[in-house]
Homo-oligomer: A and B are copies of this chain.
Amino acid sequence: MGRSATTLTDVARAAGVSLSTASLAFSGAGPISSATREKVLAAAAELGYHGPDPVAASLRRGRSGVIGVVMGSAVRRSFRDPVSIQFLDGIVTTLATQGYGTLMLPASGSDEAPGSLLTHGAMDAAVLMAGAVTSTRTIEALRARGLPTVQIGGTGRQGASVRARDKEGMQMLGEHLRERGHTRVAVATLPWQSGAQPGPVDAGTTRRPAAPITARRLDGLRAAGVEPVAIWQCASLVEEGIAAGRALLASRPTALVGFSDLIAAGLLIAAREAGLRVPEDVAVAGFDGIDLPWLGEDTLTTLVQPIADMGRHAAEAALTLAAGGTAKSLSVDVELRVGTTT
């Protein structure tokens, strides 16, 4: 059962004190003499009692001590991007220092009912990882329960969010590319909406992506006066970046921009594969600022996001919400890091 047979009542009896006093010895939430505490702790050790049952304490306190983290898609897919892992690291680490647990929640697909964990799992608040943002059913299932949420990369319009200044970042990159004389820029974006399949997008479209991150990054490029000669949407995976690169090179671009570093790595591989020199024949840039130790000599020109910090902020916002407070949305700066690929 994962629960020891001896309870706080047993410990109190063995120590010759009341239940409330025994509770205080463990929680320290009230005045207690150190002699009494020692007595209780000794009795507990004697009985093999390892502290109050967390479930019972949760019920009494009215809080589960758990924050849910909703992944963008299946764990396997979602966490192939180191960015997700660093977010998760920031979240888990921050919550752990507050004694809070992190519950993994598989997001439901856009066409399937939310899982029982989402509808009935014990938690006080939830963090929605970037890819989960546009999965409406997931958000609605959480809202229906009255659970406060924090979105990473969201719009901030529905509850608290933590996001990067994507537009400002991409604008910096766009200006950097224009300074370098690039006029033909092809772009491999993130998906325009949740569940979108990889493939071309009409470069002249006036439709704005439903996914906020994709929309903001595209806005940034355009704000710099960069009008893409070709657009390909794909997930943040190296293989999808490679496929995007192969397709985009047909438009004879002088620069390739990936909306993530993993995508950009794929673009770079596709360019090399085509026998092109980088950056002489074609420049390549990404977004994220992660380590790609397998990329060889090149270091990618990219926009560095403070990823672990963002995870930390999201966790802190979730804790505030769990405690009944209100959390404000937060935008963090990104930094242009010029590597060898532009």
Residues of A at the B interface (CB closer than 8 Å) are 1-4, 50-56, 58-59, 62-66, 74-76, 79-80, 82, 85-86, 88-89, 92-93, 96, 99, 101-106, 115-117, 119-125, 144-148, 237-239, 242, 265-266, 269, 291-296, 308, 322, 324
Q: Which residues of B contact A122 (CB under 8 A)?
A: 54-55, 58, 64-66, 101, 122
Q: Is the Cβ of A145 less than 8 Å from the Cβ of B50?
A: yes
Q: Is the Cβ of A294 less than 8 Å from the Cβ of B294?
A: yes
Please report whether the interface of chain A is mostly helix, strand, loop or mixed according to DSSP. Answer: mixed
Whether A324 contacts B1 in the complex (CB less than 8 A), given A86-B76, A88-B79, A293-B242, comes out as yes
Q: Which residues of B contact A265 (CB under 8 A)?
A: 294
* Copies of chain A in the complex: 2
Q: Is the Cβ of A75 less than 8 Å from the Cβ of B85?
A: yes
**Residue of A2, A125, A295 with highest tally of chain B CB at under 10 A:** A2
Q: Is the Cβ of B101 less than 8 Å from the Cβ of A104?
A: yes
Whole-angstrom CA separation of A53 from B62 in the bound complex:
10
- Name 10 A/B residue pairs within 8 A (Cβ), A-sorted: A1-B62, A1-B324, A2-B125, A2-B146, A3-B62, A3-B146, A51-B119, A59-B59, A74-B89, A79-B85
Q: Which residues of B contact A53 (CB under 8 A)?
A: 59
Q: Which residue of B lies closest to A242 (CB)?
A: B293
Q: Which residues of B contact A92 (CB under 8 A)?
A: 75, 104, 106
Select A2's contact among B52, B64, B96, beta carbons within 8 Å: B64
Q: Which residues of B contact A50 (CB under 8 A)?
A: 119, 144-146
- From residue A54, how far is it (CB to closest CB) to chain B in Å? 4
Whole-angstrom CA separation of A144 from B96 in the bound complex:
20
Q: Known contacts A76-B308, A101-B117, A242-B293; can you find 11 more A-B pairs with CB under 8 A?
A: A1-B62, A1-B124, A2-B146, A50-B146, A54-B120, A55-B64, A75-B88, A79-B79, A101-B105, A265-B294, A266-B294
Whole-angstrom CA separation of A117 from B106 in the bound complex:
21
Whether A76 contacts B54 in the complex (CB less than 8 A), given A2-B63, A103-B103, A293-B239, comes out as no
Whole-angstrom CA separation of A92 from B55 in the bound complex:
21
Whole-angstrom CA separation of A296 from B296 in the bound complex:
12
Whole-angstrom CA separation of A85 from B58 in the bound complex:
30
Whole-angstrom CA separation of A86 from B121 in the bound complex:
23
Whether A89 contacts B65 in the complex (CB less than 8 A), given A101-B117, A238-B293, comes out as no
- From residue A7, how far is it (CB to closest CB) to chain B in Å? 12
